[in-house]
Structure 1
Amino acid sequence: MASSALDVYAGVDTHAETHHVAVIDGLGRRLGDTEFPTTVLGYQQLLAFVGEFGTVQRIGVEGTASYGAGLTAYLRAERIVVREVIRPSRAARRNGKSDPIDAYAAARSVAANDDLPIPKLLDGEVEQIRVTLRARSSAIKARNVAMVQIKDFLTTAPARVRESYRYLSDEELIEVLAASRPQSDQTLKRVLRRLARRYEYLGEEIDQAVEELEVLTVRVAPELTQARAIGTITAAQLLVTAGANPERVKSKAAFAALCGVSPIPASSGKTQRHRLNRGGDRQANWALHRIVMVRMGNDERTRRYVERRTAEGKGTREIMRCLKRYVANEVYTLILDPDQVPPSDDLRPLRHQQHLTLTQVADHFDTSPGKISRIERGQSRDDHFTKQYRKYLLQTL
C-alpha cells in the first residue's frame, strides 16, 4: 500500500447495479481495483477505497449522465474533482474488454488529461425542467399516435360511420368522439371514443407541463425567458443543455459547439466557406433554429441582417448558420452572465393614467397589442423598445 502522500487517480466503469473502480498513481502504475454496489453505502466505500492509496487528484467516471449520475453527484458533494470519460470505441479496445480493463483505461485517461469535460449536474430545478420537458415530449408523441389511429380506423370504417365524420376538423372530431355514447355492440365507436378521450387527457397533461415549465424557467433564468423569440419550451431546452452547472461550459465557442452551431471549415481549392455543424445537442440546435425562424419573420434587426447578407450572395442555409451562432452567443450570456432585467411594472399604470388602450399604443409604435401587453407584464424583454415606450408615456403626461 502506498503512502498517504502519493497523488492518485481513479477511473470508474459504471453499470446499473455495480461500479468497478481502478486506481493508479501519477506514473500510471496500477494500485488496485474492485467493485462496489450502486448505493449510497457503495459510493462511500468506493471513495474510501480510492482514498486509502493516497491523495485523490481526479476521478474519471463513464456515463455521468446515465449509470454514473448518482456517483458523480456524490463525489462532487464530497468536493472531489470529477471528469467525464468517454467510453472507448471498439477499435480502441485492442487489449479486450472487461470491467477492470475499462476502469484502468478511464483512470489513465483522467490522469493524463485535465481538460476532460466537466460532468453536467442532474439535480435542482434544471433537473426538474429536464424531466418535465421529456414527459411533455412523450405525451405529444402519444397524442399524435392516438390521432393517427383514429384517422386509420375511420379510413377503413363502414361508409355510414366514415361519412358522419368526414367534414369535421381534428378539433371537432375529437370533441364529437369523446362525447359520443356508443352502444355496447358498437366496438369501433367505443374504441374511437376511448382514443378521443385519451387524446384530450394527453392534451391536458401537455398544457400542465407547459405551465410548470413556465414557472421553472422564469425562476431559473428570468433574463433568458424574456429575450426576443425565446419561449418557454426553447428556454427550457437550452437550460437543460447548459445543465445545473453551466459554468462548466467555459466560453461562447464551447457553448456553440455544444449546441451544434459552431462553424466547421468546408473549403476546397479556391472555395473558402464553412458549413453547418451536424454534431452537438440536436435538441438545443432545434431550439436555436426555432428562435432564428421567429426572428427572421418578426424581428426588424434580424430581417435587415438577412437582407444585407442575401445581397452579399449568401444563401439561406449559410445565413441561418450565422444567425444560430449569434443567438447561441446571446443565450450563453443570458445564462452565464445576464444583465438584470429592467423593471417594466410602471408601464401599465402610466398607460392607464393617460387613458390609452393597448391598441392605441400598438398603432403608435406599429406593433401588436400582444407585444405591448407582454412587455408590461414582464413576460417579454426588449430593452430598446421599453425605453422608447416609457419615454412616449412620460411625454404625454
Structure 2
Amino acid sequence: MSCLRHPAGAYLRLEGSISMTSAVADDTTDKVVFGGVDSHADTVHVAVISDNGGHLADAEFATTAAGYAAALAFLGAHGHVNAIGVEGTASYGAGFTRAARSAGLDVVEVNRPDRAERRRIGKSDPIDAYAAARAALSGRASSAPKDDTVTGIRALHNAARSAVKARTAALNQITHILVTAPESIRARFGQLKGADRTDALARLRPAGDAVHVAVLTALKSLARRVKELTAEHHALTRALDSEVTAHNPGLRAAYGVGPDTAAQLLVTAGGNPERLRTEASFAALCGAAPVPASSGRTNRHRLSRGGDRAANAALYRIALVRMSSDPRTRDYVARQTAAGRTKKEGSPVASVGR
C-alpha cells in the first residue's frame, strides 16, 4: 500500500500501489488530465499528465482487480480523466483496459513508442507511461482497443487451428516414417489411406526385432495422437459454432459460412474496430478491395495483396463454396463470363486470394 500526499496535508491511500512519484495540484475539481499505462505481466505503471503535457504523478500497480481499482482511483484523484493511452491493450494491458472501460473511461491503443523520443530520453517504465499519456493527449494514439466481446471466439479459434496444425504434423510424420520403414511394415500399411490407416496403426501391438518394435511403437503413438487431436478439433469446432452463432447468428446462417470462417471474420472485425466505418473499409481491411490498374483504353483492377490475409482466405473459401453450389453466384459468374471477362476477373474470387 502507498499513500499519496496532497499539498493540504491529506493523504490518499491506494490499495495495490507498489511504488509512486507524485506532484499533485492543489485543486483537481475542474482539472482535465490524461493517463498513460506501460503494461507488464505482473505490474502496470501509470502516469498522469495535465492537458498542457505537464507531468503530475506516476505509480506502479499490481495486475490484480485491487491493483486496477487503485490505479483508476489514482488517476481520478488528479482530475477528470479525458483519455488513457495504454500499451498492449490486447496483451499485458488487457486487464487494465477492461477495468478502465467498465468504469466508463476512454482508452486508446498506443501501438508503438515514439522512436525519436526514446533515442533522446531513453527507456524506463515511468518514461514509457508518460510517453503513452502524451500520445493520448496529442492524438497520436487514437485507435480503439480490440473488441473484448470476441475474446472467447479468438481463444477457441486459435485453439482449433493449433489442433489442426498439430494433427497435420503428426500425419506427415506417419507418412515420412512409412517411407523408410522396413518392407514388411510398408507393405502392411503403405496402401491404407486416411482414417483406415490411422485406425489400423492405433490398434497395433508392436512385435518383432528391435527395429520393427521401435518403428511400430512410433507409428502407434502418432496414430493415437491423430485420433485425439481429431476429437479435440471436433469438440472445439462445436464450441466455436455455438459461440459464433450466439454472437452473430446472421453471419453464421449466410450461405457458405462455416464456424471457422465466421470466427475468422469476427476476430478480424473485433481486432480492428477503428477501421469498420463502411463496407468498403472492411473490404480493404480484408484485402478484398480491388486496386485500380487502368491505363489508356485499358480499364481494369488488380488483386489486392494487402489487408488481413487470414480474413482474405476466409472470404476466398466462401466464394469458392458459393461458386460451386449457390445459384445466384453461379448466375453472376455466367453473366460476367458472357460479358467477356475471364473467370479470374469476373468471379467473386477476383478480389480475394489464398
TM-score, structure 1 as length reference:
0.73
> Does 1:157 pair with 2:210?
no
2:134 counterpart residue number: 108
Counterpart amino acid of 1:7?
V
Distance 2:137 2:300 in 1: 38
Counterpart amino acid of 1:32?
A
2:218 counterpart residue number: 191
Distance 1:209 1:133 in 2: 8
> Does 1:138 pair with 2:165?
no
Distance 2:158 2:256 in 1: 22
Is 1:6–1:55's contact at 8 Å kept on the other side of the alignment? Answer: yes
Distance 2:304 2:289 in 1: 6
2:16 counterpart residue number: none
Aligned length: 323
Counterpart amino acid of 1:144?
T
Q: What is the CA-CA distance between 1:11 and the residue it aligns to?
A: 1.6
> Does 1:290 pair with 2:317?
yes
Q: What is the CA-CA distance between 1:42 and the residue it aligns to?
A: 1.7
Q: What is the CA-CA distance between 1:75 and the residue it aligns to?
A: 0.6
Q: What is the CA-CA distance between 1:74 and the residue it aligns to?
A: 0.7
Q: Secondary structure at the match of 1:197?
A: helix
> Does 1:9 pair with 2:34?
yes
Kindly report which structure 2 residues correspond to 1:16-35, keeping only aligned pairs within 5 A, or say none.
16-35=41-60
Of 244, 250, 260 in structure 2, the residue corresponding to residue 233 of structure 1 is 260
Per-residue displacement from partner, 1:229-285 (whole Å, max 9, x unpaired)? Answer: 111211122222233996983432333333333445556788765544444333222
Kindly report which structure 2 residues correspond to 1:368-387, keeping only aligned pairs within 5 A, or say none.
none
Distance 1:266 1:114 in 2: 33
Sort the Cα spacing of 1:179 and 1:10 in 2 relative to 1 into closer, same or farther, 3 A. same
Of 252, 259, 263 in structure 1, the residue corresponding to residue 279 of structure 2 is 252
Distance 2:192 2:183 in 1: 15
Distance 1:255 1:35 in 2: 38
Counterpart amino acid of 1:121?
D
> Does 1:179 pair with 2:203?
yes
Per-residue displacement from partner, 1:22-55 (whole Å, max 9, x unpaired)? Answer: 2222222222223222222221222122112210
Q: Secondary structure at the match of 2:148?
A: coil
Of 243, 248, 261 in structure 2, the residue corresponding to residue 216 of structure 1 is 243
Q: Which of the two has greater strand per residue? A: 2
Distance 1:28 1:278 in 2: 40
Of 44, 63, 72 in structure 2, the residue corresponding to residue 38 of structure 1 is 63
Q: Secondary structure at the match of 2:145?
A: coil
Distance 1:92 1:154 in 2: 58
Sort the Cα spacing of 1:64 and 1:115 in 2 relative to 1 into closer, same or farther, 3 A. closer
Query: What is the root-mean-square deviation in Å for CA atoms of aligned residues?
Result: 2.9
Distance 2:191 2:349 in 1: 42
TM-score, structure 2 as length reference:
0.81
Per-residue displacement from partner, 1:47-79 (whole Å, max 9, x unpaired)? Answer: 122112210011111111111111111111111
Moved more, 185-194 or 245-254: 245-254
Q: What is the CA-CA distance between 1:91 and the residue it aligns to?
A: 6.2
Q: What is the CA-CA distance between 1:131 and the residue it aligns to?
A: 1.4
Q: What is the CA-CA distance between 1:172 and the residue it aligns to?
A: 1.6
Is 1:73–1:121's contact at 8 Å kept on the other side of the alignment? Answer: no
Moved more, 21-30 or 223-232: 21-30
Counterpart amino acid of 1:292?
A
Is 1:8–1:56's contact at 8 Å kept on the other side of the alignment? Answer: yes
Distance 1:300 1:92 in 2: 58
Q: Secondary structure at the match of 2:91?
A: coil
Counterpart amino acid of 1:18?
T
> Does 1:316 pair with 2:316?
no
Counterpart amino acid of 1:24?
I
Is 1:20–1:100's contact at 8 Å kept on the other side of the alignment? Answer: yes
Distance 1:192 1:285 in 2: 37
1:61 counterpart residue number: 86
Is 1:118–1:248's contact at 8 Å kept on the other side of the alignment? Answer: no
Is 2:49–2:133's contact at 8 Å kept on the other side of the alignment? Answer: yes
Q: Secondary structure at the match of 1:243?
A: helix
Distance 2:324 2:301 in 1: 25
Distance 2:47 2:226 in 1: 51
Sort the Cα spacing of 1:143 and 1:270 in 2 relative to 1 into closer, same or farther, 3 A. same
> Does 1:128 pair with 2:144?
no
Per-residue displacement from partner, 1:186-229 (whole Å, max 9, x unpaired)? Answer: 12111111111111111111111122222222222221111111
Give percent identity, aligned residues only: 48
Counterpart amino acid of 2:241?
E
Counterpart amino acid of 2:237?
V
Counterpart amino acid of 1:298?
S
Per-residue displacement from partner, 1:146-179 (whole Å, max 9, x unpaired)? Answer: 1111111111111222122221113221111111
Where does structure 1 differ by over 6 angstroms across 4 or more consecutive aligned residues? 244-248, 267-272
Which blocks of at least 5 consecutive residues in structure 1 are unaligned? 326-397
Moved more, 297-306 or 78-87: 297-306
Of 173, 194, 207 in structure 2, the residue corresponding to residue 170 of structure 1 is 194
